A = this chain, B = another copy of it.
């Protein structure tokens, strides 16, 4: 099975790089508008992007999202990401470590990150479906999870929640019953902060509250609008001729809660939030932070850059930072705390959803913070 997993890992990366599996219009970032400050009273030279996440100081509120590992061919990708994480002081995630848990020879493709980034905030990664009994395999033991953590001397553990992906995956681990109990146990036993991480379908208000009750330390809302695991699996199903599963992938490509909506929903739980899914510029990042995210997660743009070179990764980081600073200056924010206090006007489809879900008054307050 480790073979199947490692094979899947390389397929994911190749398909993602070859196809466009993003659904950026689904995120509706343009629904989120700042109120321009004609006299912003900000010197961009003084803008402070530092933040603190799970007790550790980060120089930038940027998380290079959990992407890959588990195949020798992707080691270079993780190396390029890790060098940049170290250089800029970013948080970095690795892809699901299942492959290396099952086959220790694959660990190098993950552990390269800690080698290259001795000081970075590294986030280990396992899947919630692997915490419970599936048709084809037993749940991970606590020891196996710890192996993943030690593999990269992780600062935190992300448990990705990807039922949609499993449903659209030919060989998916479809069962999701028991994840809550398993998560609750894990957070009690693991002795490291656990981040519950959606991978493209978002986290609702109620689910955020549920996650908090499980002892989760932070939530990555992983909303709809970015790389679609569903579209990715549809592409894989197609190459395998599995039409029924492919159709599920296509049908559910747009399923889920869009990233900006998910931030507003999930912040009800008052946990640190990572906003991942469709962040494609520093302006999107600013929107996510102003809506209440602690940090933004970016996947595909980093994957693409890292598959080319370290320098490309740096260029992506620099661009996003430069763009983010412009949004901060123009909305009058010198710090991230101030950014979170700026006026934000949430319109369009995002507005309609949130109003129906009971957030209308909150949106009005957000649009009139300075009245």
Mark each residue of chain A from 166 to 194: 1 if its CB lies under 8 Å from any CB of chain B, else 0: 01100000111111100100000000000
A358-B368 in contact (CB<8A): yes
A40-B176 in contact (CB<8A): yes
A45 touching B175 in the complex, CB below 8 Å, given contacts A255-B36, A255-B330, A364-B358? yes
A346→B210 CA distance, assembly (Å): 24
Chain B residue contacts of A349, Cβ below 8 A: 347
B38-A201 in contact (CB<8A): yes
A318-B371 in contact (CB<8A): no
- A8 contacts the other chain (CB 8 A): no
The residue in A33, A179, A347, A368 that gathers the most chain B C-beta atoms within 10 A of its C-beta is: A33
- A211 contacts the other chain (CB 8 A): yes
A318-B251 in contact (CB<8A): no
The residue in A36, A255, A364 that gathers the most chain B C-beta atoms within 10 A of its C-beta is: A36
Q: How far is the CB of A75 from chain B (nearest CB, A)?
A: 29
Q: How many copies of the chain does the oligomer comprise?
A: 4
B367-A248 in contact (CB<8A): no
Please, which residue of chain B has its CB at the minimum distance from the CB of A282?
B251
B283-A33 in contact (CB<8A): no
Partner of A161, one of B39, B164, B283, B357: B39
Q: How far is the CB of A261 from chain B (nearest CB, A)?
A: 10
- A252 contacts the other chain (CB 8 A): yes
Partner of A367, one of B202, B323, B356, B370: B356
B326-A167 in contact (CB<8A): yes
Q: How far is the CB of A344 from chain B (nearest CB, A)?
A: 10
Q: How far is the CB of A324 from chain B (nearest CB, A)?
A: 11
- A91 contacts the other chain (CB 8 A): no
Mark each residue of chain A from 206 to 219: 1 if its CB lies under 8 Å from any CB of chain B, else 0: 11001100000000
Q: How far is the CB of A67 from chain B (nearest CB, A)?
A: 19
Chain B residue contacts of A204, Cβ below 8 A: 35-38, 343
Mark each residue of chain A from 303 to 346: 1 if its CB lies under 8 Å from any CB of chain B, else 0: 00000000000010011001100100110000000000001011
Chain B residue contacts of A358, Cβ below 8 A: 364, 367-368, 371
- A44 contacts the other chain (CB 8 A): yes
- A62 contacts the other chain (CB 8 A): no
A206→B257 CA distance, assembly (Å): 33
A285→B133 CA distance, assembly (Å): 29
Chain B residue contacts of A283, Cβ below 8 A: 251-252, 255
- A125 contacts the other chain (CB 8 A): no
Chain B residue contacts of A326, Cβ below 8 A: 164, 167-168, 248, 251-252
Chain B residue contacts of A175, Cβ below 8 A: 43-45
- A14 contacts the other chain (CB 8 A): no
Chain B residue contacts of A201, Cβ below 8 A: 36, 38, 330
B323-A163 in contact (CB<8A): no
The residue in A43, A204, A323, A356 that gathers the most chain B C-beta atoms within 10 A of its C-beta is: A356
A38-B330 in contact (CB<8A): no
A36-B202 in contact (CB<8A): yes
> Chain A interface (Cβ within 8 Å of chain B)?
33-46, 128, 135, 161, 163-164, 167-168, 174-180, 183, 196, 198, 201-207, 210-211, 244, 247-248, 251-252, 255-257, 281-283, 315, 318-319, 322-323, 326, 329-330, 343, 345-349, 351-353, 356-358, 363-364, 367-368, 370-371
